[in-house]
Structure formats: C-alpha cells, structure tokens
C-alpha cells in the first residue's frame, strides 16, 4: 500500500522501497489551464549551477540520462524516470515543479498528486488541491534530496512567477529561443522538440511513418541505439528489405521533422540493475491479428509471448509492429497497458498491468489480486475506503473528531486518543433517554480508519443545517458540530415520548446502517417503523402514531406494528430508512 504524504512530511527513500530506479508521476489539471512539469537538478547551495540538469519539455534528459522526462503515462499529466545511483555527486537535490502555461492561478486546479513508483508498484503519494493555494502560478511539489542518503520531501509550496521566474529563482539563465534552420533535402535533420506525447529522443519512428531513404550502395547496418526507458527497440537490421528499395508502405524522402535517426557507433546499453516503469492503465489491449508488413519475417514466437513484436512505446493499437531486435540485444518490453501472457513473467521492474494476467515468480497474481483493495487517497477530510470503512484525515480542517469508542481499526501518523466525557448532566440525560454515546476524541496529524461490525457507513455533510439521528446509528462526527437530545411527543404509548439526537452546524456526521438505506421525501405524509428509521431532516414534523388498543392486545393475531413515526413537511425534507429493524 502506498504511503500517503502530507505537506512537509519527509522520509528516506530506503524506507519506502529498496529500488533505486524510480518512476515519478505528476497529475495536475484545471479548467482551461495547461501546465509545464519540470525537474531542477540543484547543487549543495540549491542553485542550478549546470543548465543541463534543468529537465523540461525542450531538454528531456540529463547528460548521463539519470533524469529523464517521459511525458504523460498511465493517467499522469507528466512523468520522469530517476536513477538515483547515476545522479552525479554535484547534484544534491531534484526539485519537481509545475507551472501554469498562460493565464490562470493555482487556486483553480483540481485534486492532484505527485507519486513515486518502484518496480511497477506505487510506494508514496503526495496529494494536493487548489484550495491550498491562492494567486500562485507555480508550485514546488516535491524534492529528492541527499542528506547522507536520498530522501523524499512533500513540499507543496506555491511560487508567484511562472517557469522563467522559477528558473531565475534557482540561478538559471533564460535563453531566447532561435528558430532552427530547416534541414536540406536528404541531410540529417536538426534537433526539434518532441510532439504531443513527447517521447524521449532515441525512440524509433512507429511502423507506417515516413522513413529515411535507403543509401544508394550496400553498407553494413548501423548498431542499434540504447533502448530508452520502458520502450521497445526501434527498427532493426534483421528483416530489412534489399538496399535501394524503401520499406513497404513507406515513401522515400527525408526523415520527418523531430525524429532523429540513430547515429552510427552509439554504444548499446544492456539492462540496468533496476528498471522502473509506470503503472499501465487497465484495458489497453492491442487488437488481435496484428501482422508485420509484407517482406518482414517475424521470428518464431515462444509459447504465450511475442518478444520484440510489440509496437514501440506509445504506439496506438492497430499499427504494424517493428521487427525484432538484433542478436544479443535485450528483448523489447511490452508497451504500457499490454497484459502479460501466461507463463511469461514481466521483466524486472516492469509494472504489472492492473487487471491483466498475473505475472511474477514467487507470488503470482498477488499484486493483481490485492490491487482493487488499495487505499483510495484523496485530499478530502472524510473518505469512504469501501462501503464499510471510513477514513478521516485529521490534518485537513484542523478540527478534532469524536468517534464511538472501539471503532478505530487502524491509523497512520501521530494521533492521540482520549476519553470524551459527557459530564454529570449529560450522563443523566443519556441514561434517561437512551441517547448516551461513549465517545473518544481523536487529535493530531494523521489518518484514522473507522468501522463497526461491518455496518455500512454514510458521511453526511452539514452546512449550517440540522439532522436528527438516533445515537445508536452514529459512528463519528466533527467536534465542531453541536448535538443535543430531542424529544418526540406521542400519546397512547408507555413513557409518552421517544428521543433522538439532533446535530447542527458545519461539519460531517457519519451514520451507520444495516444494509443499504433508502431516502424518501416526506412531502406526502409518510409512516416509518420506529425500529427501522435511521435519520431525518430536522425541518420535518414528526409525531408518534400509536395503534395500541386494549382489545387488540388482549387477543392474539395482531399485526405487531403498534408504534410508527409519522413524518410530513415542506419539499426538501426527507427520511432515511434501513432494511433492518433494531
């Protein structure tokens, strides 16, 4: 389960994962806003002393490729690959930032996060919302910093300027962009920023795209460039058509703009110790029956897997796959979202696709089987983890929580639990009315998970209004809410009245039910069993309707429905009834 970070929280990377090759994903969005996600490689003085370690859309990797920008992956707005063991000693901090491109401010963004993934498994997440910011145009989301060992800090600090101001703040220089000269016909194209998905340079063009014209004379094939992060190899010498003849389906001509052909003599880098990979979104399965273009001879496939025949990283389904990699080169990895084949484990560090066929060696299917039970982190104060488990984040809102004693099932962070007494008068009233609650007070900075007897839980947020709930159906509520015992008048029953709890103010009360309840309006007069009613709006008029008669009680065979509650009120009033009688 991923560890949830709050602003200002810090931890050693080794406490989160043993991996050193990490995937960092950032999700941030807002209506009408576009964002630039960047990484600054800073020295011991927190200055950008080397501009080559400013990783952004125009410079997607550092010189030794320890930091690489990967673009959108698996639901993330942007993502990076960080190989900590390859980061130079001069770089002491990696700061991940997000800036607004154009007009707008950070208070307009919706819920977002920065997450760390190791070996395909999410190990840490820092969530944020626009309510934490105001007029800022940039935000420093999180840092990897070296203090004896590499550590992670959730920053969440706003910055008034845009990307250029942020660059100057770190000591960098803003260079004016110059238009790149157009390449001559048949010449090697110059550097151009990647398009749309922004793949890292070195990826081969997808099958079906225009390819460089064949050389006029036979020549030995150039060695294949080193494979980029999580991407299959590009076009290989094996299966190449005769010299002087263009590949089938590709016209002769110059290479497309923004695609640089592999340079001869590039050394081949065989697999690193740890391969980090983004978590693949579920449901992306290539259509069956993909056939290589005519003239391309695929190698005999192993049982249940097709190494080297997957489309390049980011290729849309339906495009023809490239030929296999040359002998001695690592096989291409599947593109994100392709489920594993039976009997073929994913490469070390490759993410296990959610909902796909279980892969792995020692514990096959473990992650796939438990992934649907992962914690559902959000930036809200009250978050249902499932219909029977509620999480409250004490750091949001700053108000303590009152919960029924014994309902805490687990907690994270620094949380204090203390007894919450009702006082002498409260105990007397509670004992006399049956509306006494044994409560505990939860304070601190952390998350508390609450449940009781597998009852279904329903958070009800009050904005200055009021609701009536029986004390037996209350699990927890914000201490800011005012609560008191309310009397329901009735005639013809023993005791002459019933009692309930009324909550009023601004905050949330969590109500528990046996089974899924139903909410009904009380504009027409509505009757409900007093043992099945859970809650109702305080504006509804309620009286006790009794059918107790001496003659009916003296003879057997009566219906047993002797005491009901009668509700009526203006439009907008309601009752909540559970399919269970206490």
**Residue 343 is assigned to a structural domain of this protein:** no
State yes or no: pLDDT of 249 exceeds 80: no
**Residue 273 is assigned to a structural domain of this protein:** no
For 431, half-sphere exposure in the C-beta direction (CA atoms, 13 angstrom radius) is 6
Please report which confidence band the pLDDT of residue 116 belongs to, taking 50, 70 and 90 as the band edges: very high
Q: What is the pLDDT of residue 241?
A: 43
Looking at 169, 192, 211, which one is the last position of a domain? 169
Q: What is the pLDDT of residue 334?
A: 46
Looking at 136, 169, 202, which one is the last position of a domain? 169
Task: Name the average pLDDT for the chain.
Answer: 74
State yes or no: pLDDT of 250 exceeds 70: no
State yes or no: pLDDT of 436 exceeds 60: yes
**Residue 455 is assigned to a structural domain of this protein:** yes
How far is 305 from 342, CA to CA, in rounded Å? 8
Please report which confidence band the pLDDT of residue 229 belongs to, taking 50, 70 and 90 as the band edges: very low
If residue 390 lies in a helix (H) or strand (E), which one and from where to where?
strand 389-393
State yes or no: pLDDT of 90 exceeds 90: yes
**Residue 538 is assigned to a structural domain of this protein:** yes
State yes or no: pLDDT of 112 exceeds 60: yes
Phi (first) and psi of residue 405, to 5 degrees: -60, 135
Phi (first) and psi of residue 454, to 5 degrees: 55, 25
Please report which confidence band the pLDDT of residue 266 belongs to, taking 50, 70 and 90 as the band edges: very low
Tokens 């027409």 found at: 524
Q: What is the pLDDT of residue 317?
A: 52
How far is 485 from 466, CA to CA, in rounded Å? 13
Measured CA distances, 496 to 134, 489, 505, 570 (Å): 56, 7, 29, 26
Neighbours of 43 (CB within 10 A): 18
Tell me the sheet residues that pair with 138: 99, 159
135-151 confidence digits (pLDDT tens): 888 999 999 999 999 99
Q: What is the pLDDT of residue 572?
A: 84
Identify the weakest region by mean pLDDT among 14-28, 37-51, 230-244, 438-452: 230-244
Neighbours of 580 (CB within 10 A): 13
How far is 533 from 47, CA to CA, in rounded Å? 64
State yes or no: pLDDT of 124 exceeds 60: yes
Identify the weakest region by mean pLDDT among 70-84, 317-331, 363-377: 317-331
How far is 184 from 179, CA to CA, in rounded Å? 15
For the chain, how many residues are written? 582
Helices (H) and strands (E) in the chain, counts: 5, 27
Q: 568 by DSSP, 3-state: which?
A: strand
Intra-chain end-to-end CA distance of the chain, in Å = 37
Q: What is the pLDDT of residue 421?
A: 76
Tokens 């950070």 found at: 106
**Residue 55 is assigned to a structural domain of this protein:** yes
Q: What is the pLDDT of residue 361?
A: 46
* Bigger pLDDT: 155 vs 215: 155
How far is 376 from 283, CA to CA, in rounded Å? 20
State yes or no: pLDDT of 441 exceeds 60: yes
State yes or no: pLDDT of 108 exceeds 60: yes
Q: What is the pLDDT of residue 467?
A: 93
Number of domains in the chain: 2
**Residue 255 is assigned to a structural domain of this protein:** no
Q: What is the pLDDT of residue 293?
A: 56
272-294 confidence digits (pLDDT tens): 454 544 554 554 444 444 555 55
Instruction: Give the domain CATH number at 130.
Output: 2.60.60.30
∠ CA(189), CA(193), CA(197), 5° rounding? 120
- Evaluated on CA atoms 234, 240, 245, 247, the torsion sign reads negative
State yes or no: pLDDT of 216 exceeds 80: no
Measured CA distances, 347 to 222, 281, 312, 336, 360 (Å): 27, 18, 16, 13, 9
Q: Which two tokens stand for residue 482?
A: 């005012």
State yes or no: pLDDT of 340 exceeds 50: no
**Residue 531 is assigned to a structural domain of this protein:** yes
Q: What is the pLDDT of residue 546?
A: 64
How far is 538 from 541, CA to CA, in rounded Å? 8
Mean pLDDT of 26-53: 92
Tell me the sheet residues that pair with 125: 4, 115
Q: What is the pLDDT of residue 292?
A: 52
Instruction: Give the domain CATH number at 473.
Output: 3.60.160.10
Q: What is the pLDDT of residue 459?
A: 94
Q: Which domain holds residue 470?
A: 382-577
Identify the weakest region by mean pLDDT among 92-96, 101-105, 420-424, 473-477: 420-424
Looking at 169, 185, 217, which one is the last position of a domain? 169
Cα-to-chain-centroid distance, residue 6: 15
**Residue 277 is assigned to a structural domain of this protein:** no
How far is 384 from 387, CA to CA, in rounded Å? 7
State yes or no: pLDDT of 154 exceeds 90: yes
State yes or no: pLDDT of 458 exceeds 80: yes
528-555 confidence digits (pLDDT tens): 887 888 998 988 888 877 654 544 444 5
Nearest CA to 541 out of 570, 576, 519, 518 is that of 570
Q: Which two tokens stand for residue 186?
A: 């048949």
């Amino acid at each position: 389960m991923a560890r949830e970070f709050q602003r200002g929280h810090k931890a050693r990377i080794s406490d989160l994962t043993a991996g050193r090759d990490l995937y960092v994903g950032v999700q941030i969005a807002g209506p009408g806003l576009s964002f630039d996600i960047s990484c600054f490689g800073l020295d011991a003085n927190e200055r950008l002393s080397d501009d080559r370690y400013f990783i952004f859309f125009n410079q997607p990797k550092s010189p030794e490729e320890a930091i690489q920008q990967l673009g959108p992956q698996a639901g993330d707005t942007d993502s990076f690959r960080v190989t900590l063991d390859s980061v130079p000693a001069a770089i002491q901090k990696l700061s991940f930032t997000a800036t607004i491109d154009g007009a707008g401010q950070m208070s307009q963004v919706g819920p977002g996060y920065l997450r760390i993934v190791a070996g395909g498994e999410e190990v840490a997440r820092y969530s944020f919302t626009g309510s934490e910011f105001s007029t800022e145009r940039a935000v420093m989301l999180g840092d990897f910093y070296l203090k004896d060992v590499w550590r992670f800090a959730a920053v969440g600090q706003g910055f008034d300027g845009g990307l250029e101001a942020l660059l100057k703040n770190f000591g960098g220089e803003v260079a004016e962009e110059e238009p790149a000269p157009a390449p001559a016909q048949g010449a090697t194209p110059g550097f151009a920023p990647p398009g749309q998905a922004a793949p890292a340079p070195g990826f081969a063009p997808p099958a079906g795209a225009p390819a460089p014209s064949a050389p006029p004379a036979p020549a030995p094939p150039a060695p294949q460039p080193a494979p980029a992060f999580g991407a299959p190899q590009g076009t290989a010498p094996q299966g190449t058509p005769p010299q002087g003849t263009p590949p089938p389906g590709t016209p002769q001509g110059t290479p497309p703009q923004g695609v640089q052909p592999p340079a001869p003599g590039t050394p081949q880098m065989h697999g690193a110790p740890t391969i980090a990979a983004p978590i693949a979104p579920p449901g992306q399965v290539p259509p069956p029956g993909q056939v290589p273009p005519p003239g391309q001879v695929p190698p005999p496939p192993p049982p249940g897997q097709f190494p080297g025949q997957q489309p390049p990283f980011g290729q849309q389904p339906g495009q023809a796959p490239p030929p296999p990699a040359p002998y001695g080169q690592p096989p291409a990895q599947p593109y994100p979202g392709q489920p594993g084949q039976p009997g073929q484990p994913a490469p070390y560090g490759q993410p296990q696709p959610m909902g796909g066929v279980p892969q792995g060696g020692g514990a096959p299917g473990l992650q796939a089987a438990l992934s649907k039970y992962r914690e559902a982190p959000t930036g809200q104060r009250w978050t249902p983890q499932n219909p029977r488990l509620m999480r409250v984040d004490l750091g949001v809102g700053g108000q303590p929580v009152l919960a029924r004693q014994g309902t805490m099932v687990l907690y994270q962070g620094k949380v204090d639990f203390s007894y919450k007494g009702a006082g002498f008068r409260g105990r007397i009233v509670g004992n006399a009315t049956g509306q006494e609650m044994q409560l505990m007070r939860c304070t601190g900075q952390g998350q508390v998970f609450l449940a009781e007897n597998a009852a279904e839980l329903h958070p009800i947020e009050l904005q200055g209004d009021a609701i009536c709930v029986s004390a037996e159906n209350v699990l927890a509520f914000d201490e800011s809410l005012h609560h008191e015992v309310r009397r329901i008048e009735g005639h013809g029953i023993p005791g002459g009245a019933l009692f309930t709890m009324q909550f009023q103010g601004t905050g949330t009360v969590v109500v528990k039910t046996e089974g899924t309840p139903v909410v009904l309006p009380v504009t027409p007069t509505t009757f409900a069993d007093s043992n099945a009613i859970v809650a109702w709006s305080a504006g509804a008029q309620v009286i006790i309707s009794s059918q107790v008669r001496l003659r009916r009680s003296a003879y057997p065979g009566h219906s047993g429905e002797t005491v009901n509650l009668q509700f009526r009120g203006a439009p907008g009033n309601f009752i909540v009834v559970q399919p269970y009688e206490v």
